[in-house]
A and B are shown apart, each in its own frame.
Chain A
Amino acid sequence: MPAYYLEIIVVVLGLTVLMVETFVSLRDKRSLGWLAILGLLVVLVLNFTVVETGGEGGNTPFWSFYVMDIPAQWFKGLALLATIFVILMSVDFSRVLSKGICPEVEDDGVDDCAENQVALSEFFALPIFICAGMMWMASAHHLVSIFVALETVTIGFYVIVAFMRRNVGSLEAGVKYLILGALSTGFLVYGFAWLFGVTGEMELGAIADALNAPDVHRTGALFAFALILIALCFKIGAVPFQIWIPDVYQGAPMPVTAFLSVGSKAAGFVILLRLLEPFMASEMLNANVTSVLVIIAAATILFGNLAALPQTNFKRLLAYSSVSHAGFLLMAVASAPAHPGVVSPVAAVSYYLAAYLMMTMLAFLIMNLIRVQRGDENLEAYKGLAKSSPFLAFAMLVAMASLAGVPLTAGFVGKFWVFVLALQEKHYYLVAFGVIGAAAGFYYYLKIVKSMYWDSPADAGSSAAVPVVVAWPTRIAIVLLVVGVFYFGVNPGALLSLFL
C-alpha cells in the first residue's frame, strides 16, 4: 500500500464523521468519538505496513512533494497516537464542552443545546483533519507541501482552540493564537520566498544542492533561514516566541491543550528537522545556524523551567514545561549528525518526542478527569489525590517522574541522549544550562507529587475525598502509557533500533 493512502483514509474518516453527524441522528454522539478512535487505530496499524516508495523510486511528480522514510513513518505514528488520545480525552470532556458552547439555561427549562450535544461531532472531526495534516507534514519534502500541510494543521487548531465559544478564556486563547499564528505564517512564507529566491528551487533535495554550491548568496540564504526559524520557533514554542504558549494552553479546552503541546510541537519539529537539513549540510552556513540554535535552546530551557517555578495552575505549569522540553529538543537539533557510536539527532528527537507524548498525554488524561469531575485546574485540586484515587495519583507520579527525568523512565533516556549529543558537540555552556533547567524541573514536577501524596485537601469532606471515576477505555490508556513510560525507559533500544 502506498504511504499516501494513510492520509487519504484519515481524511475520509473525518468526512465520514461529519456526514454521520449531518445525516444520522444519534442518541449519544460520543459513539462518533469511538468510531474515530477505531478508525485511527486501524490507520495506526496500517502505518506499519506501508511500503517506502518515492525519492528515486517514484516516477510521478508527486514524489517530489512527498517522501516516505523512517522519520516520516515514525512521526505519522506519533500524530495518530496523539490524536487517538486526544479524542479519547474529548469523550470524557464532552460534558464540559457543551457548557462552553451552549447558552446558559434560564430557570429549569430543558437544555436543548446540551441535550443534543451540539458541535460535539465537530470536536471529534477537527482533530482528525489536523491529524491528516500532521501526517502529511511528516512526509512533506517540498516548500509548497510543507506550507499546505502546516496550514491545514494550524487552521484546524485556530478553530478548536476557540471551540468553547461562550467561555471567555477559550475565546481569548483563540484570538491570540489566530493573530500571532498568522504573524508567524507570514514570516514562514516570506522565508520560503527568500529561499526560493536564493536557490531557485522548491524541493528540499534540490535546495540542499543549491545551498552547497559555492556561488550561493550567503546573506540571502541566512536571511531566509532566519525568517523560517522565526516561524518554526513560534510553532514549537521556543524563546523568544513562546509568549503565546501559557495563555493559549490555559485557555484552550483540555484535550486541545494536550493536542497542541504534543501534536503541534511534534509537527513543528519534523518541519524544523527537514528544513534544517540543507542548511546544516552547507559548510558555509552551518556555523551561523548552529550558534543561533544553541542560543535559542539555552534561552528556552532557562525560560521554560524558571518561569514554571511559581505557577499554581497545573495547565499553565505544563505549558511552561512544554516550553522547557522544546528547549531540550533544540539541544539535539543543534548538534550535527553523524557521530560514530552515538544516535543521530533525528533519532534523539524522535525518541524524545515519543517519550514526551507518552508522559504528557498521561498527565493530560488525568488532568482532564480531574477537570471534568472536580471542575478545577489548579494544584489545589490535587491535594490528597493519593488517598481518594491512588491509581490516578500513581499514574500522575509516573508522568511527573518521567517529565522530570528520573532514571528508568522514558523521559530520562530522552534527556540522556540529548545531553550526550550536546557533549559530543562540545556545547558545554548549553549543557550547563540544560543541567540547571533539569534541576529546576525536579522542583516543580515534584511539587505536584508532594501535593498528591503529602498534603491533605483544603476543605476535608468536600468533593476532594470522592474517588475520581475512570471509564475503562481511559483506564486502559493510562495503564498502557504507564507501562510504556517504564518499558521504553528500561529498554530504550526497542524504539531506537528503528533508527540505527
Chain B
Amino acid sequence: MTDNYEAVLLQFLLAGGFAGVTLLISVLLGQRARRNKLKDSAYECGMLPVGEGQSRFSVKFYLVAMLFVLFDIEVVFFYPWAVVFRDLMEDAETKMFFWSMLSFAGILFVAYLYALKKGALDWKPRH
C-alpha cells in the first residue's frame, strides 16, 4: 500500500529540489546589484504585491485570459486523444472518435472566429 506513495514522495522531492536549485543557481550566477525595495519584493506575474484590495483591470484582460484557458483546455483534450487515436481508429465501432474531436475543434474554431471578429483580441478600444 505504501508503495503507491513513493511517487508522491518523488514529486515532493522534485518540486522542492527544482525551487532550491533555481534559487541557488540565481545566487551563484547572478550579478550582485544594489538592493532596493522594489527589487526585494516578491514577483507576482507583473502585479503589484501591495495595493488596494479591489483593483480594477481592463475587461480585455479577462477576455484574453478566458480565451487562453479555453484553448489551453483544448490542448489538454488533444493529448490523450492523440495517445489512443490509433487504437480506437482500428475498431469500426469507435470510428466516431475522430469526428468527435473534429467537431470539438470545429466549434472552438468557430468561436475563435467570432471572438476575433468581435474584437476580443484588440487590445486598444475601437472607438
Contacts and interface: CB of A to CB of B under 8 A. Distances in A.
Interface of A: 8, 11, 15, 18-19, 22-23, 59-62
A22 B117 contact: yes
A22 B117 CA distance: 6
A60 B103 CA distance: 18
Please name the 6 residue pairs, one residue from A and one from B, whose CB atoms are nearest each other, closest first.
Answer: A22-B117, A15-B110, A22-B114, A60-B93, A18-B114, A59-B93
B94 interface: yes
A22 B115 CA distance: 9
Contacts of B107: 11, 15
Contact of A22 (B96, B103, B118): B118
Contact of A19 (B93, B94, B103, B114): B114
B80 to A, nearest CB: 15
A143 B118 CA distance: 36
Given A11-B107, A15-B107, A22 B94 contact: no
Contact of B96 (A11, A18, A19, A60): A60
Nearest to A119: B118
Contacts of A23: 117
Contacts of B110: 15, 18-19
Which applies to chain A's interface (DSSP): helix, strand, loop or mixed?
Answer: helix
B113 A22 contact: yes
A63 to B, nearest CB: 11
A442 to B, nearest CB: 48
A15 B113 CA distance: 11
9 contacts: A15-B107, A19-B110, A19-B114, A22-B113, A22-B114, A22-B117, A59-B93, A60-B93, A60-B96
A11 B108 CA distance: 12
Contacts of A18: 110, 114
Interface in B72-127: 93-94, 96, 103, 107, 110, 113-114, 117-118
Given A61-B94, A62-B96, 4 more contacts: A18-B114, A22-B117, A59-B93, A60-B96
Nearest to B103: A8
Contacts of B118: 22
B2 to A, nearest CB: 23
